[in-house]
Amino acid sequence: MADTISTKQIIKPENLVHKKSAVMTDTTMHYCPGCGHGTTHQILAEVIEELGIQENTIGITPVGCSVFMYNYLNIDMQEAAHGRAPALATAIKRLMPDKYVFTYQGDGDLAAIGTAETIHSCNRGENILIIFINNGIYGMTGGQMAPTTIVGMKSSTTPYGRDVSLMGNPLKMTDIVATLPGTYYVTRQSVHKPGNVRKMKKAIHKAFEYQKKKKGTCFIEVVSNCPSGWRMTPVESNKWMEENMLPFYPLGDFKVPEE
Amino acid sequence: MEKELRLMKGNEAFAEAVIRAGTDAYFGYPITPQSEVLEYLTAEKPHERTGMVVLQAESEVAAINMVYGGAGCGKKVLTSSSSPGISLKQEGISYIAGAELPCLILNVVRGGPGLGTIQPSQSDYFQATKGGGHGDYKLIVLAPSSVQEMADFVELAFELAFKYRNPAMILSDGAIGQMMEKVWFNPQKKRSGELQPWATTGKTADRERNIITSLDLDPHRQEQFNLKLQKKYREMKEKEVRYETFQCDDAEYLLVAYGTSSRVSQKAIQMGREEGIKVGLLRPITLFPFPSKEINELADQVKGILTVEMSAGQMVEDVKLAVNGKIPVEHFGRMGGIIPTPEEVVENLKAKIIGG
């Protein structure tokens, strides 16, 4: 067993391969096993730590599964009414232009009830970062159809699958905001594989750098999973996401600055 | 700098007073009869005068949520609207009350329900004084009856809002907002820049993180929080009641009216006294907290009370609660944007109280 490593060796600093970010609190997360929220929180915290902006960052949480994000990040945060996070962020950034301001919103929050706030904040080019978690479902309320639920996808309010003739079409918000003059950097990422996690982290890094330079709105969609809402195991949900969500929501940049 | 005298509309006087109070930000959306507030603020370039932020939002809903965000940073922020717009803001107002944030909301009331009319009304009294949105909460509500008070109440409202960490509303109406009068302004104040210990201004190493929220899923803690709010409202009732009396010393009858109705009532009192009717006026300045104790005391002196309101009779319920059956209390009002005449008030006083 020459390849094994003892406990004593594991805790040696030179063997450290991963640690919890200092910007994360010691609170146990309420997220379901396998959910993408936890990973995204961790990456965001790492970037805030690496950029040294913990004292100057203000986050806005949505209504949805990530409503309690303020329990997990050790920064000042405000909890918005459903869909209104970009309105809060607009005011906070305009009143304190030197702070870093981000919103963290789910698909129901951002693409249904908060569509107006999203579009207009992006169109005004508010110097904020919007992180948009798209798992195609209302997780917190028990798995109802979201504006992003793909055609044929089952949810508690589309028990026979989303039927366009009855429920209309899924909405591609990221495609829309990329067309607006106020957005500077628009990208769609995921966090279901290590490579994707690294890309996502790079995207958040870029977005905060652009915010520092007051370039306009940065918008990062994260195509994510919802094992509980989709009634799948974490592994099944990631596979389903790859096979069904990603063909409709392809990953990649929509708008990148010319550098 | 000395005080300055100007001739202005109520809405413009409010906007000028907002800049002079050292306000940090205004977020609004156009609606008649209060659009002059946003128009005046954009024309005056307060970003050059004081660095104040002025932004026309995409909706009333966005505007009140911008207020929520700014208030959470401990800044002096406000919005203004008229009745249908204020209805849209109720969700945000409830969140602001639930998160215990200070802010100012101006309602230049027009007739309703629905799209209603653009003429003056007082039919939003219930909405302003009983909460308005969901949950058990109260706003501090100030009712101006002149252009001067449209200006003066800006600083008073902010002072009370920050003292209690509670949203304050100035409940005006289309007549006070649109009419022109002389108004004295205080000199320009600087924006304070003061950091509130509870505000989200960036978590420095010397303090715990600040979280602005109205959410607590634990019912026991949520009840304790509600009890704390109720205690705050009781304290307001003890300390912040404001009102004015007019010719009450020898009064045998009493009118209770606020805002535009109180101006009509003053004229009615003059006409009534010419006919030998000894009638006085109590004008509540704070509609919440309501001058219940003062009205109850006057009920020992007068034989009957008539409330005059531009509504179907809303404040009359609070007057009846205050009087608690001691003497007759009746209501006279006009609706839909009609302002009552002094003659009508005297007639109704005779018919409903004196002759009754």
Q: How far is B214 from chain A (nearest CA, A)?
A: 8
Q: Answer whether residue A8 is part of any domain.
A: no
Which tens digits make up the pLDDT trace of B65-89?
Answer: 999 999 999 999 999 999 999 999 9
Say if the Cβ atoms of B69 and A79 lie within 8 Å. no
For residue B177, what are its two tokens? 């907002």
Q: Which residues contact B26 (CB under 8 A, 6 or more apart)?
A: B18, B37, B38, B41, B46, B52, B53, B54, B55, B77, B78, B79, B80
Q: How far is A28 from chain B (nearest CA, A)?
A: 16
Q: Is B214 within 8 Å of chain A by CB?
A: yes
Kindly list the distances between the CA atom of residue B193 and the CA atoms of A97, B196, B199, in Å, as whole numbers in the listed order: 14, 9, 12
Q: What is the CA radius of gyration of chain B?
A: 21
Q: Which CATH number fits the domain that encloses residue A87?
A: 3.40.50.970
pLDDT at A142: 92
State the total domains in chain A. Answer: 1
What's domain B4-190+227-239's architecture?
3-Layer(aba) Sandwich (3.40)
Q: Answer whether residue A18 is part of any domain.
A: no
Chain A positions in Cβ-Cβ contact with residue B57 (cut-off 8 Å): 87, 120
Q: What is the mean pLDDT of residues B156-174?
A: 98
Q: How far is B77 from chain A (nearest CA, A)?
A: 10
pLDDT along chain A (259 residues), means of 10: 74 84 94 96 97 98 96 98 98 98 98 98 98 96 96 96 97 98 98 97 98 98 96 96 98 92
Q: Answer whether residue A198 is part of any domain.
A: yes
Identify which of B213, B201, B283 has the alpha carbon closest to the alpha carbon of residue B248. Answer: B283
Q: Answer whether residue A20 is part of any domain.
A: no
Nearest to A57 among B27, B202, B212 (CB): B202
Domains B4-190+227-239 and B244-354 fall in the same CATH topology:
yes
Give domain limits for chain B. Answer: 4-190+227-239, 244-354
Given the DSSP bridges, would you call strands A252-255 and A183-190 parallel, antiparallel or unpaired? antiparallel
* HEC sequence for chain A: CCCCCCHHHHCCHHHCCCCCCCCECCCCCCCCCCCHHHHHHHHHHHHHHHHCCHHHEEEEECCCHHHHHHHCECCEEEECCCCCHHHHHHHHHHHCCCCEEEEEEEHHHHHHHCHHHHHHHHHHCCCCEEEEEECCEECCCCCEECCCCCCCCCECCECCCCCHHHHCCCCCHHHHHHCCCCEEEEEEEECCCHHHHHHHHHHHHHHHHHHHCCCCEEEEEEECCCHHHHCCCHHHHHHHHHHHHHHHCCCEEEECCCC
pLDDT at A4: 77
Question: What is the dihedral sign for C-alpha A84, B30, B309, B248?
Answer: positive
Helices (H) and strands (E) in chain B, counts: 13, 15
Which tens digits make up the pLDDT trace of B185-244?
Answer: 999 999 988 999 999 999 999 999 999 999 999 999 999 999 999 999 999 999 999 999
Substitution target in A49, A67, A90 with the highest count of B β-carbons within 10 Å is A90
State the DSSP H helix or E strand holding residue B36, giving kind and residue range, or none if neither.
Answer: helix B35-43
Q: Is B54 within 8 Å of chain A by CB?
A: no
Q: Is B215 within 8 Å of chain A by CB?
A: yes
Say if the Cβ atoms of B203 and A60 lie within 8 Å. no
> Distance (Å, rounded) from C-alpha A143 to C-alpha A145?
7
Here the ipTM equals 0.96
| Fold (topology level) of B244-354 | Rossmann fold (3.40.50)
Say if residue B78 is exposed, middle or buried (CB neighbours under 10 Å; 0-12, 13-18, 19+). Answer: buried
Which tens digits make up the pLDDT trace of B228-240?
Answer: 999 999 999 999 9
Q: What is the mean pLDDT of residues B128-150?
A: 97
Domain that residue A206 falls in:
31-255
Q: Is B341 within 8 Å of chain A by CB?
A: no
The reported pTM is 0.96
Say if the Cβ atoms of B201 and A91 lie within 8 Å. no
